[in-house]
A and B are shown apart, each in its own frame.
Chain A
Amino acid sequence: MLEPQEATQAIEVEHLVKRYPRAQRTAVDDLSFSVRRGETFGLLGPNGAGKTTTIGGIDVVANPIGAKQRIAVVPQRNNLDRTLRISEILTYHAAYHGVPRAERTARAATLLEELGLSARRKEKLGWLSGGLEQRVMLARALMHEPEVLFLDEPTNNLDPQTRLFLWERIQALHKQGVTIVLTTHDMEEADRLCERIAIMDQGHILALDTPDGLKRLIPGGTMLELRLRVPEAVGALRAPEDGATDTQDERFRAMLGRLPGVTKVEQLALEGQPETLAFRLYGSSDAGTLLANATQTVIQEQGELLDLRFTQPSLEDVFIYLTGRNLRS
């Protein structure tokens, strides 16, 4: 399944199928994709989508020894060697991969320093937090300078600081030309790190594209958010002719919804600001027209426009669009 090639593809997966014994459905069902050399590729999907199984497919290869020389894996679960000290975890890993002694000692020292682990290099595990374990696993993976790095949910359950730190490391590795395959159920992570993303669900790839390409999958992909203030005087003046039950919110909402090209209007909750309203318009027309029409409507209706911005659909929106389900459900 994994064929390191000298050409531009680093990984080619063809018709990967994995069925676990006694499982109701196939964990990974006829999956095919390829990852380019130097690319950061993401597998995005909810828990149980088959992401880990997919990168676990690296077990089965035509030339396992050749492949194992070029790859490294940072797994989801801690599988660090508990009988060794942290620095030894790194140096022995490098030794397994044939890195000469002097070089592996130097490399371990550098990586421990950079990953903020120097002070604990003589400790064994068991005293480390999840975030530190994750760093040790990353350092270990980098010890033999792999061409392809697999990261399985690298920042799952990490504190924001460590997560940001790991993101920086991953981006630095990308700049060095390492091919990176990562799985995640974190939209922000996928969006920030990956050049291409395969959205997975129930063992299938639903869509595979750049983050921007994926977001364009949502029809009417323009979203305009506006915040406006309606002075009470205006409200009092207008209220009678619109009928007693009609509130300011509903009036604006209806007006905006009637604009050409607007497919949907959502009112956004704003707490503690009684005179302020916020709406999100989903438009299929181009951004300029939408902007002009919306502004005009607000002014006509004597609202004061406070704030106006375009937002991009998130990958989460794409996932919901593709599956009809929330990513975390």
Chain B
Amino acid sequence: MSTPIPSTQQHGFHPRSNARATLTAFVAIVSRDLLVMRREVIIFLLQTLIQPLFFLFVFGKVLSTIGAANVSFSIVLLPGVVALTVFLTALQGPAVDLARDLNVIREIDDRLLAPLPTVLVAIEKVLLAALRALIGGAFIFPLAYWILGSGFQVRTDMLGVLIGLMVLVALVGASVGLVLGTAAPIQLLPLIFALVLTPLIFTGCTFYPWASLGAIKWFQVVTLFNPLTYAAEGMRYAMVPPLHGQALQTLAIGWVLLALCTSFIVCLWGGLKLFHRRVVS
């Protein structure tokens, strides 16, 4: 047991260029997360899809069957559920992981000590969380088809826009999660989740189109401060088929894109700042 560890030490150290070392480390960190994701895929899908399953079943199927809502409701509901699921799934990754990791577990240390700038560790978290959210989001479509039956109506001529918007929504969610995960001390995390998530879900135009709020003007204004509103409206723009030749009235796609891009940049920038402050103590 006490034989010396075989070593290339005597051959001397050959430092790689910083750029190469960074690239290698980044790829390795991504592959570590992909491995973990592959291993946990079943748990992840169950966790992610249970909520949309019930939303779609109760709001989309049960309510319309008992006559409390009409079929057109399920058509505007589905984009909202996709937006909500993608957004929340992306948010949860960094929020929960980082809060746990930076406060207690510290398993992130090994990656912070890898030869790459520490902010890239956070950026990788955001990207992987977004990827997970997109995978979760994609599964909603077959799920909805199965639950809603004839109520499942999605226009197919804007698939490119739909995919692009889903990516953007996932990135926004993940960067909001980065802010939550780095800003919140672990003991406050449950409180912050309660205080942030519930209003976020219910003011996010998930279950109703924004235009329909015209009757409650103040609430309509409130919803504009929620990035989820733009996510849901964007999804409706890309998913709801035109009725009698007329497209559903949504927030203008230009505003949607602007709001989502702004949220992403602001949250990512702020989150990276907070992250840097947390890890370089």
Interface residues of A (CB under 8 A from B): 56, 59-60, 63-66, 68-73, 75, 77, 79-84, 88-89, 92-93, 95-98, 110-111, 114, 116, 140, 142, 145, 147, 165, 168-169, 172-173, 175-178
Known: A89-B110, A93-B110. 18 other contacts (CB 8 A): A60-B280, A63-B18, A65-B21, A65-B115, A65-B116, A69-B16, A73-B113, A79-B107, A81-B110, A84-B36, A96-B25, A97-B21, A98-B24, A147-B9, A168-B2, A175-B4, A176-B10, A178-B9
A-B contact pairs, 15 of them (CB 8 A): A65-B117, A68-B114, A68-B116, A69-B16, A69-B115, A79-B108, A81-B110, A82-B105, A84-B35, A84-B36, A98-B25, A145-B8, A176-B4, A177-B9, A177-B10
Please, what's the 1-or-0 string for B1-23, where 1 marks a CB less than 8 Å from any CB in chain A?
A: 11111111110010110101110
A69 to B5, CA, bound (A): 19
Complex CA gap A169/B1 in Å reads 9
A69 touches B21 (CB 8 A): yes
Residues of B within 8 A of A72 (CB): 113
Which residue of chain A has its CB nearest to the CB of B15?
Answer: A69
A56 → B minimal CB distance (Å):
7
Please pick, from B9, B105, B114, B281, the residue contacting A96 in the complex, using a CB distance under 8 A.
B114
A79→B279 CA distance, assembly (Å): 14
Q: Are B15 and A172 in contact (CB under 8 A)?
A: no
Query: How far apart are A80's CB and chain B's nearest CB, in angstroms?
Result: 6
B119 nearest CB across to chain A (Å): 11
Q: Within the complex, which residue of B1, B110, B113, B279 is in contact with A114, where a contact is CB–CB below 8 Å?
A: B1
A66-B15, A96-B29 given; A110·B4 CB < 8 A: no
- A125 smallest CB distance to B (angstroms): 9
- Chain B residues, Cβ within 8 Å of A145: 7-9
Given A69-B16, A96-B29, A173-B110 contact (CB < 8 Å): no
Q: Which residues of A contact B265 (CB under 8 A)?
A: none
Residues of B at under 8 Å CB distance from A? 1-10, 13, 15-16, 18, 20-22, 24-25, 28-29, 31-32, 35-36, 105-111, 113-117, 279-281
Give A81 to B28 CA distance when docked, in angstroms: 14
Inside 8 A of B16's CB, which chain A residues have their CB?
69, 98
Contact partners of B31 in chain A: CB under 8 A: 95
Whether B9 pairs with A82 at a CB distance below 8 angstroms is no
Task: Provide the residues of chain B in CB contact with A60, threshold 8 Å.
Answer: 280
Most chain A CB atoms below 10 A, which of B1, B20, B111, B280: B1
Known: A69-B16, A75-B109. A116 touches B1 (CB 8 A): yes
Which of chain A's residues have a CB closer than 8 A to the CB of B7?
Answer: 145, 176
A interface, over-half SS: helix
A116 to B15, CA, bound (A): 31
Complex: how many Å from CA A145 to CA B7? 7
* A176 in contact with B2 (CB, 8 Å): no
A92 touching B28 in the complex, CB below 8 Å, given contacts A68-B114, A176-B9: yes
CB contacts (< 8 Å) of A89 on chain B: these are 110
- With a cutoff of 8 Å between Cβ atoms, the chain B residues found around residue A116 in the complex are 1
Residue pair B9, A111 in contact (C-beta under 8 Å):
no
Contact of B3 (CB < 8 Å), options: A79, A92, A114: A114
Let me know if A83 and B5 touch, CB within 8 A: no
Counting from the closest, the 3 A-B pairs by CB-CB distance are A96-B114, A95-B28, A79-B106
CB distance from B276 to the nearest CB of A (A): 11
Distance, CA A308 to CA B4, complexed state (A): 39
- Pick the residue among A82, A142, A147, A173 that contacts B13 (CB under 8 A): A147
Report the nearest B residue to A150, measured CB to CB.
B113
Taking a contact as CB atoms under 8 Å apart, the answer to whether A96 and B115 are in contact is: yes
Residues in B whose Cβ lies below 8 Å from that of A79:
105-110
- Shortest CB distance B202–A (Å): 33
How far apart are the CA atoms of A172 and B20 in the complex, in Å? 31
Q: Do A96 and B111 have beta carbons less than 8 Å apart?
A: yes
| In the complex, chain A residues whose CB is within 8 Å of the CB of B279 | 59
Question: Are B281 and A56 within 8 A (Cβ)?
Answer: yes
Q: What is the bound-complex CA distance between A114 and B4, given in angstroms?
A: 9
Whether the Cβ atoms of B32 and A84 lie closer than 8 Å is: yes
Cβ–Cβ contact B10 & A68, under 8 A: no
A116 to B2, CA, bound (A): 11
Cross-interface CB contact of B110 among A96, A142, A147, A177, cutoff 8 Å: A96
In whole Å, how far is A66's beta carbon from the nearest beta carbon of chain B? 6
Contact in complex: B5, A173 (CB < 8 Å): yes
CB of B185, distance to nearest CB on chain A (Å):
13
Interface centre among B9, B18, B111, B115 (most CB of A within 10 A): B115
Instruction: Note all chain B residues with C-beta closer than 8 A to A64.
Output: 117
Chain A nearest CB: distance from B165 CB in Å? 31
Q: Closest approach, in angstroms, between the C-beta of A59 and any C-beta of chain B? A: 5
- Name the CB-closest residue of B to A96: B114
- Choose one: A56, A70, A172; the contact of B2 (CB below 8 Å): A172
Q: Which residues of B contact A82 (CB under 8 A)?
A: 105, 107
